[in-house]
Structures are given as C-alpha cells and as structure tokens.
C-alpha cells in the first residue's frame, strides 16, 4: 500500500519548508521533526538526531521517512560526524527497530562533487560513477548512501538516495542551470521515491529536466519521476549577469562547483 504518514526530518530548513507546502497535495500526512522550532507548526517534534529515544518515538507508526535533517554545507569533521554520520545512523536504527519500510535520503551532488563537469558532447554522468566527495559534507553523504545499502541488504529497510543538485525556488548561478531542481519537481521526485515498487536501495540524481543537465536521470525516471521544469528559462538573465562557465575557472571545473575550491561553511 502507498505510504500515508511520513516523517519529515529537517522540516524547519529551506527544503523542509518547501516540502511542507507541496507534499500534502499528494495525500501525505506529515509528521515534522527538527532540532529548531518549525515556524507555524507548534506540533512539530523538537529533537536532535543525537537523541535516539526521541527518534524512536518520532518514527513509531509512520509508513516512511524523508530524511532532510543535518548540516547542509561544509563544517569541521566533528560536527559533520555528529549530525550527518552518527545522526543518520541513529535514524536508520530507529527505523529498523520500529519497522519503517522506506526512507528517502537527501544525499547530494557533493558525494560525487570532484567528478569533472561534462563538457559539450561528453556523456551524462551515470549514477554509478565512482564517489568523489568534495568536502566532509560530501563524505557524509557517501556514508549515508552506504548505510542505506547496508540497511537494505542486512535489514530489508528500503531507501531511495536522492543526490540533490540545487533545490531552491529559482536558480541563482550559471552552474545551477545544470543542477537545479525546482521545488515542484522535488515534490514529484519524492512522491515517486515513496510510491515506486521494490526500490531496494536505489540511487538517483535529483534535478529538473534541464537543457544543460550534467547527469543521467534514468534511475529517477525508472521510479516514475517525470520532471516538468527546465532551468533554461532563467538562462539568458543569468548568463548576461555572470557569463558562461569558464574552462579556466577552477570553480567551474567539477560537478561540485565552488565546494571543490572554497566550500560555503555551516554558520552554526
């Protein structure tokens, strides 16, 4: 049966806020969790991913989990270890103990961030390209994908790991023209990931059907995902402002962009 009750971790964050708005239209009842208060949602669970008891209670009775909580930029290893590595482990343990069937894991393009950016005529980057994390942050997403594989093989907990490109209301850089996922397409992809049959552990890239796409969306499409958006309608304005990607600019050399050279730091 299709999942109805879904725990959304990281509900206070940028993506969590967008998904809180968009996912209920698909018929989901969302249970919200974040370490900080979720604006306008007094019923949200305030819990840290370090708190195993709280996680166990939070996942009890849900059909599935969308796991967005964690540090979403670069940070000292100790912080990444606590929030993203141990925190994701704690969530998977809670899911296993409580019999939750499926998790949608917010992985990131930064798990493969040091992959060279494909140039014109190069093939799209396949989903089984070797991991090349660009940061401690990207490394934690590699861990999450491997954890998901282990929990499928060993415990039968299913996961779709979504290597999200850039999911924001609109693209704000020329790089983002290649990796952007519109919020509406993200909701479509999460819905496909929650409802497709027999996913085991499936890794997909998460983006819209961008004209300038760098990676292969076929594993996402195989889940039933049909992206409706294309960043190209923002291209003229962004290129006029920033110029085309430059082969001589190290910030433009890899999928991970500036994360490979000067990664943005988690402010907290």
Residues that bind ligand NAI (CB under 6 A): 10, 12-16, 34-36, 48-49, 68-72, 83, 87, 106, 108, 164, 166-167
Q: Which of 155, 134, 131 is nearest to 145 (CA)?
A: 131
Question: Is residue 161 at the binding interface for ligand 15L, with CB under 6 A as the rule?
Answer: no
Q: Using the rule CB under 6 A, which residue among 9, 88, 90, 108 binds ligand 15L?
A: 108
- Extract the tokens encoding 37: 């208060």
Q: CB 235 → ligand 15L: shortest distance, Å?
A: 16
Question: Is residue 88 at the binding interface for ligand 15L, with CB under 6 A as the rule?
Answer: no
Burial (0-12, 13-18, 19+ Cβ within 10 Å), 17: middle
Residue 26 among the catalytic residues:
no
Q: At a CB cut-off of 8 Å and minimum separation 6, what does 91 contact?
A: 9, 49, 55, 59, 65, 67, 69, 103
- Extract the tokens encoding 19: 């998904």
Q: Which of 28, 137, 151, 225 is catalytic?
A: 137
Please give the helix or strand (H or E) that residue 202 lies within, else none. strand 201-206
Cβ distance 80 to 268 under 8 Å? no
Residue 68's binding partner out of ligand 15L, ligand NAI, none, with CB under 5 to 8 Å set by partner kind: ligand NAI
Residue 148's binding partner out of ligand NAI, ligand 15L, none, with CB under 5 to 8 Å set by partner kind: none
Cβ proximity to ligand 15L, 108 vs 182, nearer residue: 108
Q: CB 194 → ligand 15L: shortest distance, Å?
A: 21
Q: At a CB cut-off of 8 Å and minimum separation 6, what does 57 contact?
A: none
Q: Which residues bind ligand 15L (CB under 6 A)?
A: 72, 108-110, 166
- The residues carrying an active-site annotation are 137
């Amino acid at each position: 049966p299709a999942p109805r009750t879904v725990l959304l971790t990281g509900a206070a964050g940028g993506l969590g806020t967008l998904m809180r708005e968009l996912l209920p239209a698909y018929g989901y009842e969302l249970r919200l969790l974040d370490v900080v208060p979720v604006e306008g949602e007094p019923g949200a669970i305030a819990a840290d991913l370090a708190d195993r008891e709280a996680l166990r209670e939070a996942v009890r009775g849900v059909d599935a989990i969308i796991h967005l909580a964690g540090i979403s930029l670069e940070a000292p290893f100790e912080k990444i270890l606590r929030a993203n590595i141990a925190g994701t482990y704690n969530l998977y343990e809670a899911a296993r103990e409580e019999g939750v069937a499926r998790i949608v894991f917010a992985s990131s393009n930064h798990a493969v961030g040091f992959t060279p950016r494909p140039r014109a005529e190069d093939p799209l980057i396949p989903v089984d390209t070797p991991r090349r994390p660009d940061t401690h942050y990207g490394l934690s997403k590699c861990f999450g994908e491997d954890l998901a594989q282990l929990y499928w093989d060993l415990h039968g907990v299913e996961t779709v790991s979504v290597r999200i490109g850039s999911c924001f209301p609109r693209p704000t850089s020329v790089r983002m023209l290649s990796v952007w996922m519109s919020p509406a397409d993200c909701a479509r992809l999460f819905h496909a990931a929650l409802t497709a049959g027999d996913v085991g552990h499936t890794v997909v890239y998460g983006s819209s059907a961008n004209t300038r796409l760098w990676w292969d969306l076929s594993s996402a499409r195989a889940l039933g995902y049909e992206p409706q958006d294309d960043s190209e309608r923002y291209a003229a304005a962004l290129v006029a402002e920033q110029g085309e990607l430059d082969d001589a600019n190290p910030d433009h050399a890899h999928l991970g962009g500036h994360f490979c050279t000067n990664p943005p730091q988690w402010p907290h």
